[in-house]
Amino acid sequence: MERTLWGVPDEFELALYLTILLLCIKVILIAFLSSRIFVEKRNVEKTPLPVLYSGVVIFITLFISRLFYLTFDFFQTQFNPLTYTLYPNIYIWKTGTFISAAGVIYGVWVIERKILLNKTRAIVTITMILLVVIQFFYPVREGVASDFQLVSNFGLAAAFGVFILPIVIFWLGRVSPGLQKYAGTFFIGTFVYAAGGAVVSGGLMDFAFAIVGVDLAFTLSICLKITGLFLLAYSFSNIRKINKGLIDYYHSKRICIVHRGHIQGKAFMCSTCNVMYCEACKKAIVEIENKCWNCKAPIAMGIELAKDLAAKMGLGTSTSGLTEVQELGEKQSADDVGASIEVPGIKGEGREPRAKVDSSRDFEGKKK
Burial group, residue 227, by CB count within 10 angstroms (0-12, 13-18, 19+): middle
Q: Among 249, 282, 317, which residue terminates a domain?
A: 249
Same domain assignment for residues 122 and 188: yes
Higher pLDDT pick, 18 / 184: 18
Domain of 56 in residue numbering reads as 10-249
Average pLDDT for residues 11-20, to the nearest whole number? 92
Degrees (nearest 5) of the Cα angle 195, 196, 198? Answer: 60
Report pLDDT for 226. 97
Report pLDDT for 4. 62
Same domain assignment for residues 242 and 258: no
The lowest-confidence range among 48-52, 71-75, 205-209, 246-250 is 246-250
Confidence of residue 5 (pLDDT cuts 50, 70, 90): low
User: What percent of the chain has pLDDT above 70?
Assistant: 73
Here the CATH number for the domain that contains residue 309 is 3.30.40
pLDDT at 136 over 60: yes
Higher pLDDT pick, 327 / 45: 45
Same domain assignment for residues 260 and 244: no
Same domain assignment for residues 131 and 240: yes
Residue at 3 is within a domain:
no
| Distance set, CA 272 to CA 2, 163, 256, 309 (Å) | 65, 35, 16, 19
Confidence of residue 152 (pLDDT cuts 50, 70, 90): confident
Residue at 34 is within a domain:
yes
Question: Rounded distance, CA 153 to CA 145, Å?
Answer: 12
Same domain assignment for residues 52 and 170: yes
Q: Among 249, 277, 312, which residue terminates a domain?
A: 249
pLDDT at 309 over 80: no
Residue at 1 is within a domain:
no
Report pLDDT for 229. 96
Confidence of residue 243 (pLDDT cuts 50, 70, 90): confident
Residue at 296 is within a domain:
yes
Same domain assignment for residues 282 and 221: no
Q: Report the run of H or E that residue 20 belongs to, with start and end.
A: helix 13-42
Split into its structural domains, the chain has a count of 2
Confidence of residue 156 (pLDDT cuts 50, 70, 90): confident
Report pLDDT for 279. 83
Average pLDDT for residues 79-86, to the nearest whole number? 91
Q: Among 221, 249, 277, which residue terminates a domain?
A: 249
Over residues 311-359, the pLDDT tens digits come to 443 433 333 332 333 333 333 333 333 333 232 333 333 333 333 334 4
Same domain assignment for residues 117 and 265: no
Residue at 309 is within a domain:
yes
From the CB of residue 340, how many other CB atoms can be counted at a distance below 10 Å? 24
The lowest-confidence range among 19-33, 40-54, 293-307 is 293-307
Residue at 5 is within a domain:
no
pLDDT at 171 over 80: no
Same domain assignment for residues 239 and 116: yes
Higher pLDDT pick, 28 / 150: 28
Residue at 4 is within a domain:
no
Degrees (nearest 5) of the Cα angle 32, 34, 38? Answer: 115
Same domain assignment for residues 243 and 113: yes
Same domain assignment for residues 56 and 34: yes
Both ends of the chain: CA-CA distance in Å?
A: 81
Residue at 368 is within a domain:
no
pLDDT at 236 over 80: yes
Residues shown for the chain? 368
Same domain assignment for residues 292 and 272: yes
Question: Rounded distance, CA 307 to CA 43, Å?
Answer: 28
Same domain assignment for residues 217 and 260: no
Report pLDDT for 106. 92
Here the CATH number for the domain that contains residue 130 is 1.20.1070
Report pLDDT for 336. 36
Over residues 177-210, the pLDDT tens digits come to 667 778 788 889 988 998 998 888 876 787 888 8
